[in-house]
């Protein structure tokens, strides 16, 4: 037996196993689990086994959901929807409070069950996952009670299909079910096939508290079950998982009208500057990549260290790595538990081996792994080239890469050198530097001198191929609410865009100056790459020619928009001044625009121009007033919710209201700091091209607004497919809307597609346009001691 002196020298922990008797007795008593549908468990038919990844021992048999099972669950949720959604908010709040309290009362049971099923250390499931589950239900109980006052006019989306991953099984359930119920929706949830047991235990808690039947339904199964849920008659899909599956879901839901939120993969940077507290940053790495065996979508898997301190940092990191305890997840002293299953373990091994073959050097904890179960020793890779597979691909295991940088600008460039954009962690004692870098990294969540901090009061979600939408906080509640859709109006008929000469009568006399509108790219009029123009007709008469844009013109416009990135960095006040000037210049030429719209046969041209001027003034006023919030989250933090522009947006405008519809979409986008490539009404593009001189004389920087005329659906498809376009708005018919959403799946850009509406009324402007033109970045800043 070691002496006290020896113990103090080694600092070894003795075994501290967590008892599993209660949970194993529960599993034995149940034997096998059916689905939870309409307030009761079904009799399981075909089943599959779920096993303990730390030992390989089977835990339970679980029903394999079929399309019929999913349909039954959706039917039950649909039947429960009217009663649940009509409940006063404070009544729904009572149910959410009950779920929170019962989760707390069962916290040790749920923690042990989660560790058995998932393999994560009991310390994490006990101290992080389950407390956050209760926190989410408590927090959203408050939203239920406040809903009418905080979201006036909003209503629930309807029946929500929710698909969650295996890395945080119970916590992901709470993230999705709590806001859905608070908003008045009913749900059908599919847990991951590897980790369904805590979801089934939660179903028993729903029954225990007496939650009305059909409000929560849980169907277990594999990817085929999830696909059946995506294709079912639900009103919304909320998915957390891989980018590849998210891309497939985007395509499957295109054109269906289903609301969609995607929280996908990540390759998050962990940036350590020379003035950082290096010991704190080393502990941050422990929480960033070795927490939950690195099976965290926002894991700090790319460590970027200032070259001047890289040697010291790596030495301390290696020393800390050597002290990590890998082993039995049920031991309270374990730091790193088991990988979720053999398939994931094989993937981690394969990616690390490929990285080493491409020149990376692996540094691993010098630990002996258990003889059975799915374990991988934590570590990090050095000598990693930017093109190495481990620099690009999400390993989703306890292995990071370590790369050096010399300047803050290089750090930002390396941080953004990824197709993802979920999270980032920045370490510096210089708060000015940290906040400056936070504003420049492309990530939906940024932690300063901390990492992997979560709270129900703050939104969570990504940029770029990490998905769109938010979970948690006010932003997350908005994802489960909707407002009455504006009345759809028929589109104007664009007709055939004929590039051949048109022998019909022209509206201009024989001595009139020819009027051929060019494209507007980078602040200059450009001839189309095709060399073609098409005839613009009004009331059966030719009124001019417009350029027939193509794919290359869109490419040039996107490049010009990217070059105008200074617009997004300008203050709201500066953007407002430009938009006010634009409004003034448009007003000065009001009679000219009225005359041109009248000649083009536009109905009520006086009203259309007057409303266009008012709309310009409205969004000029909004440019410096649409701002963020400070969320109430954890102590010692200020959590800033900052709305940021997407960057480059594509906008396909309506054929109706050719001037007003164009400005109603372009103005809110640029007011928020975006640069746009706009496709004006093909039937009357001259209403938009007449704005060239207004833009040029209003101090609008070149490239902020780019106009490409031509066939809307063809050009919109190119914008949807373009990887350097971050968001797309499309107004038009169902075929074009479906195409826009389907083709956007390549880089998973945010889309807003809708039919034509009354642009002259309240449906033509408002807060929704500004919300759709921004994405929220949540920045966690240390505050206090």
Catalytic machinery residues? 263, 297
Note whether 639 and 455 are within 8 A (CB). yes
- 666 token code pair: 């372009």
- 70 token code pair: 């999913």
- 327 token code pair: 């082993």
Q: CA-based angle 234:60:109, to the nearest 5?
A: 85
Distance, in Å, from the CA atom of 219 to the CA atom of 203, rounded to the nearest integer, reads 10
Helix (H, G, I), strand (E, B) or coil at 242: coil
Distance, in Å, from the CA atom of 411 to the CA atom of 389, rounded to the nearest integer, reads 20
Distance, in Å, from the CA atom of 381 to the CA atom of 352, rounded to the nearest integer, reads 9
Contacting residues for 603 by C-beta, under 8 A, at least 6 apart = none
DSSP H helical ranges for 210-330: 223-230, 243-253, 278-285, 310-322
Smallest CA-to-CA distance from 234 within 257, 203, 216 is with: 257
CA atoms lying within 13 Å on the CB side of residue 84: 28
- Tell me what percent of the chain is helix, strand and coil, each rounded to the nearest 5: 45, 20, 40
Distance, in Å, from the CA atom of 228 to the CA atom of 70, rounded to the nearest integer, reads 7
Smallest CA-to-CA distance from 240 within 186, 191, 300 is with: 191
470 — phi, psi (to 5°)?
-135, 155
Distance, in Å, from the CA atom of 274 to the CA atom of 288, rounded to the nearest integer, reads 19
Distance, in Å, from the CA atom of 181 to the CA atom of 515, rounded to the nearest integer, reads 58
Distance, in Å, from the CA atom of 54 to the CA atom of 437, rounded to the nearest integer, reads 40
Residues shown for the chain: 785
Residue found under tokens 């009572």: 94
Contacting residues for 138 by C-beta, under 8 A, at least 6 apart = 96, 97, 100, 456
DSSP H helical ranges for 600-684: 605-622, 660-671
Distance, in Å, from the CA atom of 721 to the CA atom of 650, rounded to the nearest integer, reads 11
- 120 token code pair: 């994560």
- Measured torsion, CA atoms of residues 443, 447, 452, 454, in degrees rounded to the nearest 10: -90
């Amino acid at each position: 037996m070691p002496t006290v002196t020896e113990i103090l020298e080694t600092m070894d922990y003795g075994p501290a196993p967590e008892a599993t008797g209660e949970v194993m007795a529960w599993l034995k008593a149940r034997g096998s689990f059916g689905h939870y549908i309409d307030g009761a468990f079904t009799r399981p038919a075909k089943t599959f086994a779920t096993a303990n990844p730390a030992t390989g021992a089977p835990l339970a048999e679980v029903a394999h959901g079929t399309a019929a099972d999913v349909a039954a669950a959706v039917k039950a949720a649909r039947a429960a929807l009217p009663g649940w959604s009509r409940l006063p908010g404070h009544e729904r709040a009572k149910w959410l409070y009950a779920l929170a309290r019962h989760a707390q009362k069962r916290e040790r049971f749920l923690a042990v069950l989660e560790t058995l099923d998932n393999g994560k250390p009991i310390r994490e499931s006990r101290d992080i996952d389950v407390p956050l589950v209760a926190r989410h239900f408590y927090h959203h109980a408050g939203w239920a009670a406040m809903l009418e006052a905080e979201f006036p006019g909003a209503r629930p989306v309807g029946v929500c299909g929710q698909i969650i991953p295996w890395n945080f099984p119970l916590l992901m359930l709470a993230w999705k079910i709590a806001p859905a119920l608070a908003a008045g929706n009913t749900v059908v949830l599919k847990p991951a096939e590897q980790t369904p047991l805590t979801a089934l235990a939660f179903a028993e808690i729903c029954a225990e508290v007496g939650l009305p039947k059909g409000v929560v339904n849980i169907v277990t199964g594999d990817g085929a079950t999830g696909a059946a849920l995506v294709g079912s008659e639900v009103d919304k899909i909320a998915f957390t998982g891989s980018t590849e599956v998210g891309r497939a879901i985007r395509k499957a839901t295109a054109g269906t009208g289903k609301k969609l939120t995607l929280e996908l993969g990540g390759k998050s940077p962990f940036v350590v500057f020379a003035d950082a507290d290096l010991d704190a940053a080393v502990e941050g790495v422990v929480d960033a990549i070795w927490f939950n065996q690195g099976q965290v979508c926002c894991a700090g898997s790319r460590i970027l260290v200032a070259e001047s301190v890289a040697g010291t940092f790596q030495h301390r990191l290696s020393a800390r790595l050597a002290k990590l305890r890998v082993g039995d997840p049920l031991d309270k002293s374990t730091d790193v538990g088991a990988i979720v299953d053999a398939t994931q373990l094989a993937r981690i091994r394969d990616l690390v081996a490929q990285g080493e073959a491409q020149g990376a050097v692996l540094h691993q904890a010098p630990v002996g792994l258990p003889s059975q179960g799915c374990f991988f020793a934590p570590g990090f890779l050095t000598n990693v080239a930017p093109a190495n597979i481990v620099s690009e691909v999400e390993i989703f295991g306890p292995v990071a890469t370590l790369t050096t940088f010399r300047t803050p600008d290089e750090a930002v460039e390396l941080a953004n050198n990824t197709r993802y954009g979920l999270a980032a962690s920045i370490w510096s004692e210089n708060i000015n530097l940290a906040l400056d870098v936070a504003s420049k990294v492309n990530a939906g969540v940024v932690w300063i001198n901390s990492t992997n901090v979560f709270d129900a009061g703050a939104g969570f979600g990504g940029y770029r191929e990490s998905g769109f939408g938010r979970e948690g906080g006010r932003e997350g509640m908005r994802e489960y609410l909707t407002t009455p859709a504006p009345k759809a109006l028929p589109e104007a008929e664009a007709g055939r865009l004929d590039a051949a000469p048109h022998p019909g009568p022209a509206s201009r006399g024989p001595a009139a100056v020819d009027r051929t509108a060019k494209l507007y790219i980078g602040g200059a009029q450009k001839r189309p790459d095709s060399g073609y123009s098409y005839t613009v007709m009004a009331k059966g008469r030719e009124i001019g020619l417009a350029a027939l844009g193509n794919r290359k013109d869109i490419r040039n416009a996107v490049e010009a928009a990217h070059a105008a990135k200074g617009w997004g960095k300008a203050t709201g006040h500066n953007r407002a001044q430009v938009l006010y000037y634009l409004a003034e210049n448009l007003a000065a030429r009001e009679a000219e625009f009225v005359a041109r719209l009248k000649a083009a046969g536009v109905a009520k041209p006086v009203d259309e121009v007057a409303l266009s001027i008012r709309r310009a003034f409205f969004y000029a006023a909004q440019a410096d007033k649409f701002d963020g919030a400070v969320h109430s989250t954890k102590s010692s933090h200020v959590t800033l919710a900052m709305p940021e522009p997407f960057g480059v947006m594509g906008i396909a405008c309506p054929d109706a209201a050719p001037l007003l519809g164009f400005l109603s979409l372009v103005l809110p986008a640029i007011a928020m700091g975006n640069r746009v490539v706009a496709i004006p009404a093909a039937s009357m593009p001259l209403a938009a091209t007449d704005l060239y001189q207004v833009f040029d004389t209003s101090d609008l920087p070149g490239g902020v607004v780019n106009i490409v005329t031509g066939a809307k659906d063809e050009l919109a498809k190119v914008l949807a497919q373009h990887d350097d376009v971050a968001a797309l708005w499309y107004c038009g018919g169902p075929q074009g809307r479906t195409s826009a959403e389907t083709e956007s799946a390549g880089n998973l850009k945010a889309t807003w597609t809708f039919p034509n509406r009354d642009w002259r009324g309240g449906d033509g402007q408002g807060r929704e346009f500004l919300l759709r033109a921004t994405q929220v970045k949540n920045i966690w800043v240390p505050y206090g001691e």
